[in-house]
Structure 1
Amino acid sequence: MNTTRQGAAVNARGIGVEGPRGWAFQGIDITAEPGALIAVQGSSGSGRTCLLLALTGRMRITAGEATVAGLPLPKRMGTVRSRTAIAHVPGVVELEPALTVGEHLKEQALLGHRFQGLSASLPWGKRQKEATRARIDAALAAVRLDPATLVKGLRTAVRDLERIEALRLSVALGIMHGPQLLAVDDVDLKLSAEERTEAWQMLRDLAQAGTTIVAAGSEAPADALVVRTTPAPATAAKTEAAPADAPADAPADGSGTAGSTHTDETDKEEAAHAFAETGRA
């Protein structure tokens, strides 16, 4: 894991995402330095997931102005995607229950070699294997997930993990290749009070180590920069959805339901649709 890259500064003024069923969110302002812990809070269906995807270049903003790591959105969405990562986003990036912890980690480590050309397809030598092992160990250490504490170690299936363990694994996969910014959804969903404290402490530690963290949850720690999303007013306006790779003036992949209540389910569905359009994690 790259531990030397500086986190991404985030600056946004009045940003929003509008899609075929109305606004997912509107009027969001953020000013955060590299290595900040940003907590996104809002009621169910208020566009929290869409905001995470917008700030990581995976959903096109259609209102306002934003920069991440100095890169303007939506103009530089592709570059922002390459410098950020997402974790624990239902319907977008999820763990496979049947796979083991070790299988998830190895698969993610191998993804770092996808664009290294011919050498990536050749048999790995001892040096490459050691580098992969070091990358995995660093990610596990950063999220404080000790395989020795799991029921079957690295051979533990995801379905046998406790919720807090699954969250730690998701975050480990997200940080493995050293993103400048990591977005994490549903941080404290169905966790006990003690586990919520552990989850936010894990993210705080990552932020203090330099990675900018944007996390959606119900109870933000006192030292986090809190951003609140609210359900946007219903609108009769209709726009066509566009993938993240569309021209900068194309309409957004968005969320919201014109003339009806925007629910958390539609937020997740539209987020998953945006991810499917981009084809990138």
Structure 2
Amino acid sequence: MDSAHGAAVTAEDFGLEGPRGWAFRSVTVEAEPGSLIAVVGPSGSGRTSLLLALTGRMRPTEGGAEVAGLPLPRKMAAVRRISALGPVQGVSELDPALTVGEHLRERALLQRRFDASLRALLRPRAARAKEARHRVDEALEAAGLDTATLPKRERTSVRDLERLEALRLSVALALIGRPRLLAVDDADLKLSDADRAEAWRLLRSVAESGTTVLAVCSEASEGATVVVSTGRGTDSPDDDAPGDSPDDGVQDHGSTDDRPADDTTDSSADTRPTEGGCTAGTHDDADTDHAGTDDETTVENTTEEGTADALAETRRA
């Protein structure tokens, strides 16, 4: 895959404010295509909100950003089409009741139904099935997930996966759409030191193949191309929304840092996360100025209440 496939990401004075405060503020990013961008910060510092804003799923309220030359917030729908979410709790979670194979087949069918051209849809069924299988195999290889090693192969339930296996599956599902930007939340959550190293090797491999990777983490890997800090959080264990974290159905190992987010479709609400890279919807706002110079920026005046309120917009109306 050509490195030009990845999306350049830039932002200057980027921020998102809720009714009671800032989810994140004054973020500056400058990353070339194929970069591994690590978003580092403690619980409550707006890491997930920043990830959703940079992938066109939450509307920023301050500053500007560009993804692959597409300005945010004016081109949020276009950014969603070229980006994909790996695991983001409450937004793009794996269903613990489904098997690995069911997840893969479902994603391939959705990809073919909503992203394929008219010419591709008119191809013979056998040719379409072969292309879908090729995409799945390609994504599994890129994610380093060998289904033959799972207890029941593709019939293994998600609830029976280890945390690292679940991460690999989520990344594989996102890569089926061949996005230019892959976003992964809590990349190092509940992983042992050895599994954390494996997770970073996976994300570096995806970035080296040409896809820009945006990874939220508690501690950045030395291999990260760009490190963005979301500043100081709170003492609360919840990061971007109030309440207890839902059970993701995956075996957990290590420390916890769970936090829920809301799964919605696109609407006119300013700070509403949207699931999936192909969700329809447009936002016609005035264009903003955008540039970025610093690889690492500390965000001030960040509050957990601001982040919670930003995500709480999804429950309204």
- Does the pair score TM above 0.5? yes
Structure 2 partner of 1:203: 203
Unpaired runs of 5+ residues, structure 2, are 235-267, 273-281, 287-300
Alpha-carbon distance in structure 1 between the residues aligned to 2:312 and 2:98: 21
In the other structure, the counterpart of 1:141 is: 141
Distance of 1:159 and 1:220 partners within structure 2? 28
Q: Deviations over 1:121-175 (max 9, x none)?
A: 8896221111111111000000110001100000000000000000000011111
Q: Is the 8 A contact 2:233 2:302 kept in 1?
A: no
Output one character per residue of 1:155-206: Cα deviation in whole Å (capped at 9) or x when no partner: 0000000000000000111111111001100011110000000001000000
| Distance apart, 1:223 and its partner CA | 2.5
User: Are 2:42 and 2:233, in contact at CA under 8 Å, matched by a contact in 1?
Assistant: no
Q: 1:273 to 1:100 in 2, by over 3 A?
A: farther
Q: In structure 2, what is the equivalent of residue 78 of structure 1?
A: 77
The SS at the match of 2:58 is coil
C-alpha distance in 2, partners of 1:209/1:123? 29
The amino acid across from 1:155 in the alignment is R
Which amino acid in 1 is paired with 2:147? P
Name the structure 2 match of 1:256: none
What is aligned with 2:174?
174
- Residues 117 and 211 of structure 1, relative CA distance in 2, 3 Å threshold: closer
User: What is the CA-CA distance between 1:230 and the residue it aligns to?
Assistant: 2.0
Question: Percent of aligned pairs with the same residue?
Answer: 54
Query: 2:20 matched to 1:21?
Result: yes
Amino acid at match of 2:12: R
CA distance in 2 between counterparts of 1:150 and 1:241 reads: 42
In 2 relative to 1, CA 44–165 (structure 1 residues): closer, same or farther, beyond 3 Å?
same
**Number of the residue aligned with 1:226:** 227
Distance 1:140 1:107 in 2: 15
Quote the residue 1:97 is aligned against.
96
> Is the Cα–Cα contact under 8 Å of residues 231 and 262 in structure 1 kept in the other structure?
no
> Which residue is 1:41 aligned to?
40
Classify the secondary structure of the residue corresponding to 2:33: coil
- Please name the residue that 2:68 is paired with: 69
1:242 maps to 2:270: yes
Counterpart pick for 1:262 among 300, 304, 307: 304
Superposed CA RMSD in Å reads: 2.8
Equivalent residue number for residue 164 of structure 2: 164
Q: What is the aligned length? A: 257
Structure 2 letter corresponding to 1:78: A
1:113, distance to aligned residue in structure 2 (A): 2.1
Secondary structure in structure 2 of the residue aligned to 1:52: helix
Q: Normalised by the size of structure 1, how large is the TM-score?
A: 0.83
Correspondence for 1:187: 187
Aligned partners of 1:61, 1:202: CA distance in 2, in Å? Answer: 30
Q: Is the contact between residue 114 and residue 120 of structure 1 (CA under 8 Å) also seen in structure 2?
A: no
Task: Name the residue aligned to 2:128.
Answer: 128
Given that residues 25 and 47 in structure 1 are in contact (C-alpha distance below 8 angstroms), is that contact kept between their aligned partners in structure 2? yes
Contact kept in structure 2, 1:92 and 1:271, CA below 8 Å: no
SS at match of 2:103: helix
> In the alignment, is the contact (CA less than 8 A) between 1:24 and 1:232 conserved in 2?
no
Runs of 4+ in 1 over 3 A off after TM superposition: 115-124, 243-247, 266-274
